[in-house]
Amino acid sequence: MEPQTIKIRVRYSETDKMGVVHHSRYFSYFEVARIEYLRNLGVDYASLEKEGIYLAVLEAYCKYKAPAYFDDVLTVETCLTKLTAVQMELTYKVHREEEGQLLVEGSSTLACLDTHFRPHRIPEEVRKALGMEESEG
**Which DSSP symbol is given to 104?**
E
Domain boundaries in the chain? 4-130
The whole-number pLDDT of residue 133 equals: 57
Selecting among 16, 44, 71, 114, the annotated active-site residue is: 16
**Which DSSP symbol is given to 14?**
G
Q: Under a CB-based contact definition with an 8 Å cutoff, are residues 86 and 55 in contact?
A: no
pLDDT along the chain (137 residues), means of 10: 93 96 97 96 94 97 98 98 96 97 98 97 93 59
The whole-number pLDDT of residue 131 equals: 85
**Which DSSP symbol is given to 117?**
S
CATH fold of 4-130? Thiol Ester Dehydrase; Chain A (3.10.129)
The whole-number pLDDT of residue 2 equals: 85
Cα–Cα dist 85/98, whole Å: 39
Active site residue 72: no
The whole-number pLDDT of residue 137 equals: 47
**Which amino acid, 72?**
D
Q: Under a CB-based contact definition with an 8 Å cutoff, are residues 95 and 75 in contact?
A: yes
CA 31 → CA 13, 17, 37, 116, 133, distances in Å?
Answer: 18, 24, 10, 23, 23
Cα–Cα dist 107/88, whole Å: 11
